[in-house]
A and B are shown apart, each in its own frame.
Chain A
């Protein structure tokens, strides 16, 4: 098969000592920053993105890949060992893993999370390798109307279907779309919403917005209600891997992978949904369901595997369609764009060497993370204990540095501050921030595709729905909307 050969070539690139070093750097940074409380994967990638600007694209993308996977691993350590839950994608891990740790079985919880993440990450990367080229081939045949349909589906699911409040989710999306409008119109060369400020005529950088909304917004939000006093970390106790450990873990790992990967590939909110589903499934299948809520290892193994499988699944639409379905994916797209590379169907033909080196580095990164996580867990525990004033001061400093390093203009820091304050209030009032970032990155693409569709259709809006693919996509979206509304009404009744 052609893609196998390409993958081997990718390995040949990624296995060069220099690139191995970059991969190691990426996974280490990703884990270290991911372990820090309050920093999710999206913020990790956004904060570290500017550091890669001086590198060539292959090296930079290998580092991103490491940061992306590393951030996922790091988050689980935090939720198992810290007494307070956080970061939505690992909340269920916190539930069971934290109970296990408190019951003196922290070692087993960490091990099942790390090995489960490795198993799921590797299987999901194999699936990505197998599926991505054929999906990319299919995607080449899609017209602008089909892309519009895919983006409408992504907008709706990310903003309206997943959050607690559809109105707030859509408002957040609209804010992102507005930020995407600022700048120079690509078709007519006119300035829009720049208020006459020259810096704004190039548009608002996605990195600035992502760092503002995640890093500054989060730091201000936490500062307003900071938990004072010493950081409580649960000591790592118990035995790492016993016969019972393997017996009880392997099936949840595989089931988690089977749940996580498909959910990651469709625009359904990525990791969160898959972890909750996996948790529910494990609870249902458990021989001793009474253990759930009191530290069941299956409740850590399944969701952690699902989380990582979904993270790999998200890369399928990202690489083949150029469609980010989570905030983290949106930041990664921004990273690609900063090198003038547009993820999408042509990526596999135009930048084939690059994309296969990236995929190969995902395999390598997974192995590194397994090695890095288990033996080095004591180091991550130290990272967890960083006193909070220094932690949040550091987040603010690196947020400002990352923003400034994009263009070396102070104006960007003003934008950062404004977005950060907006992020603070969005968090306080239950407006999800992910739709904003997704809207910002997809908005301009959606506008372009709509205009292209109507140009081809000579201004007839029917052209947006007549392609069979688009019609099917809208149909499925309508079904999903109806199902969600029915479920909500039933739950509220």
Chain B
């Protein structure tokens, strides 16, 4: 009952370490990109004053230094600790398949907005995400359709911001 979850020495898995190195390296990489790209910013009439390059240089240096520091800390075995959240089960392994599904669903959403309109894209996003996370498919689909239509109507009528109706263009209430 009162036993803290995940007690005992934290096992530093190899994949956690690899992830840590990759993320640190990406921070360093972004820093290098910042430094290199900053040189292409034209500094016209550079008098004593600070031009448009100085701040990017500083940010680039900070990225490189902190990224290197994170990599060094990892090498010494001091890994960052994952954040806790109410719905996270610390005992299970990372389910990358679900993450990939969610990313795919978001990509589908942003493609569909221009192709088929917001309502269709919204149904795809909600249904896809809820289903990937384990909801019963027909319930998820029902909720998705209702939610998308309600939001579409609210935006078109209430907020005065109209979302592209796409395939539903010209339908009263839905097309603002």
Mark A residues whose CB is within 8 Å of B.
37-38, 51, 53-54, 78, 82, 84-87, 164-165, 167-168, 170-171, 173-175, 177-178, 181, 185, 187-188, 190, 192-193, 216, 218-228, 387-390, 392-394, 396-397, 400-401, 404-405, 408, 410, 413-414, 416-417, 420-421, 424-431, 443, 446-447, 450-451, 454-455, 458-460
Residues of B with C-beta under 8 A to A177: 59, 62
Q: Which of B44, B49, B151 contacts A459 (CB 8 A)?
A: B49
Check A430 against B82 for contact (C-beta < 8 Å): yes
Check B62 against A190 for contact (C-beta < 8 Å): no
Q: Which of B81, B96, B107, B126 contacts A430 (CB 8 A)?
A: B81
Residues of A with C-beta under 8 A to B102: 219-220, 223, 396
Residues of B with C-beta under 8 A to A187: 52
Check B86 against A164 for contact (C-beta < 8 Å): no
Q: Is B12 at the interface (CB under 8 A from chain A)?
A: no
Bound Cα distance A54, B47 (Å): 44
Residues of B with C-beta under 8 A to A216: 106
Closest to B56 in A: A181
In angstroms, how far is the closest chain A Cβ from the Cβ of B93?
A: 8
Check A459 against B23 for contact (C-beta < 8 Å): no
Residues of A with C-beta under 8 A to B118: 404
Bound Cα distance A224, B101 (Å): 11
Mark B residues whose CB is within 8 Å of A.
16, 19-20, 23-24, 27, 30-31, 34, 37-38, 41-42, 44, 47-52, 54-56, 59, 62-63, 65-67, 69-70, 73, 78-90, 92-96, 98-99, 102-103, 105-107, 109-110, 113-114, 118, 122, 125-135, 140, 143-144, 147, 151, 155, 159-161, 163-164
Closest to B27 in A: A171
Residues of B with C-beta under 8 A to A458: 48-49
Check A410 against B113 for contact (C-beta < 8 Å): yes
Closest to B107 in A: A417
In angstroms, how far is the closest chain A Cβ from the Cβ of B135?
A: 4
Residues of A with C-beta under 8 A to B106: 216, 396, 400, 413, 416-417, 420
Residues of A with C-beta under 8 A to B125: 393, 396-397, 400
A-B contact sample (9 more), CB < 8 A, given A165-B70, A170-B66, A171-B27? A37-B85, A175-B27, A177-B62, A178-B63, A192-B38, A226-B88, A393-B140, A400-B125, A428-B94
Closest to B52 in A: A185
Residues of B with C-beta under 8 A to A53: 159, 161
In angstroms, how far is the closest chain A Cβ from the Cβ of B153?
A: 14
Bound Cα distance A190, B80 (Å): 38
In angstroms, how far is the closest chain B Cβ from the Cβ of A493?
A: 16
In angstroms, how far is the closest chain B Cβ from the Cβ of A393?
A: 4
Check A223 against B42 for contact (C-beta < 8 Å): no
Check B79 against A430 for contact (C-beta < 8 Å): yes
Residue among B20, B52, B161 with the most chain A CB within 10 A? B52
Check A225 against B59 for contact (C-beta < 8 Å): no
Check B109 against A174 for contact (C-beta < 8 Å): no
